[in-house]
Every structure is written in structure tokens, then in C-alpha cells.
Amino acid sequence: MTTVFSLLDSPIGELLLTGDGTSITGIWMQSHRSEWRRTREWQREDAAFAAARAQLTEYFAGERSEFNLPLAAEGTDFQHKVWNALCAIPYGETISYGELARRIGQPSAARAVGLANGSNPLPIVVPCHRVIGADGSLTGFGGGIERKRWLLAHEAQHAKVSGDLFAGA
């Protein structure tokens, strides 16, 4: 199967979007822990990622808090369970790995949840950056702690602004 890709400049560096022509299979950052390697079978098709590029651009502009994109992440059933739970974490909020484990009905699986979180191939869209240590520390993020810090600060800033727009309504 041919992999299609697109590159997107963002405030946290260039993002590599990968897909199968229909769904997004990966979002990779420069210096991402999981290194990607382009092969000759890869084809650049920016048009295949028009919706993803638009939605990510809106997110970075503070105009979007949720994504509506076709996703096809490869993973185990457990990883998919964790990744689905990540999508339920509200924009601008954080939870601990332990809390995420409780939310999927496996309160003793915080470490396994952490591993699944770290294997998320769709960061930002599947917001693994919203999971932090039980003590509030910024732990583990494939794109690096500085990017995680930026994403959380960005969401906190825009979540507050969004909330103020509806105050007293």
C-alpha cells in the first residue's frame, strides 16, 4: 500500500501527516521519538489532507477545540481503548495516567495506559498531551516536553477565552 503524506508548518515545528489516501494514519513532529522514514512508495498529496491541514491550522490559531477527521491508527485493542478515552478529555484540561486508567475501567493499569499513550500515532488530534503525572508534572511526550508545554498553554489560553465569550449567557 502506498503511503501518502503532507507537510504542515505549525507553531511547534513542521508536522508530517501520513495517510492511506482516505484516513490519517500518523502525525509526526520533528525530533519525534518514533522516527519516520520515507520510502520511494511515499507520495506527497497535500490535497488528500486538505481537511486535516485546515483543522490543524484552525487549532493552532485558537479557533478549533475538536477535530472531525477520518483516522486509521494501527494499534492493539487496548491502545485503541486508551486513544478513544484521550479524545474525551476536554480541551484545555488535563488528567493523570491513573485517572485515564480509571476512565477505561482498569484502575491498576496506569503504566500500561502510559505506554499506550506514548504509542499514540496521532498527537494533537488524539490529545495525548493532556495526560500528565499524578503530581502535576509534565511527563512523557513523543514530541518533547517543550511541545507538550506549548500545547497545554495554548489550550489553556484559548479555553479561557472561549469560556469568557459565553459568560452570563
Give the CATH number, domain containing residue 153. 1.10.10.10
- Indicate whether 155 belongs to any domain: yes
Domain for residue 72, yes or no?
A: no
Whether 158 and 86 map to the same domain: the answer is: yes
H or E element in which residue 7 lies:
strand 4-8
Quick: pLDDT tens for 33-80.
445 555 567 889 999 999 999 999 999 999 999 999 999 999 999 999
Please check whether residues 87 and 157 belong to one and the same domain.
Answer: yes
Number of domains, the chain: 2
Q: Give the per-residue pLDDT at 33.
A: 45
pTM of the complete model: 0.86
Give the chain's length: 169
What pLDDT, in 10s, does the model give residues 8-33? 999 999 999 999 989 999 999 876 44
Are 85 and 130 found together in one domain?
yes
* From 24-38, 48-62, 99-113, 139-153, the region with the lowest mean pLDDT: 24-38
How far is residue 123's CA from residue 156's CA, in Å, rounded to a whole number?
17
pLDDT at 167 over 60: no
> Are 81 and 157 contained in the same domain?
yes
**Cα 29-32-36 angle, rounded to 5 deg:** 85
Say if residue 159 is in the same domain as residue 90: yes
The residue range of the domain holding 84 is: 77-165
The answer on pLDDT for 169 being more than 50 is: no
Same domain, yes or no, for 53 and 106?
A: no
**Are 99 and 157 in the same domain?**
yes
Backbone angles phi, psi at 6, to 5 degrees: -150, 155
Kindly state whether residues 29 and 93 are assigned to the same domain.
no
DSSP conformation class of 151: H
What pLDDT is recorded for position 166? 41
What is the residue type of 156?
A: A
70 falls within a domain: no
Q: Is 55 inside a domain boundary?
A: yes
Q: Please, what is the average pLDDT of the chain? A: 88
8 Å CB contact between 102 and 134? no
Looking at the fold, whether 154 and 83 belong to one and the same domain comes out as yes
Cα angle 129, 112, 138; round to 5: 30
Please indicate, yes or no, whether residues 49 and 103 belong to a single structural domain of this protein.
no
Give 140 or 73, the one with higher predicted confidence.
73
Catalytic residues: 128
More confident residue, 137 or 70: 70
Q: Is residue 69 part of a domain?
A: no
145 SS3 class: helix
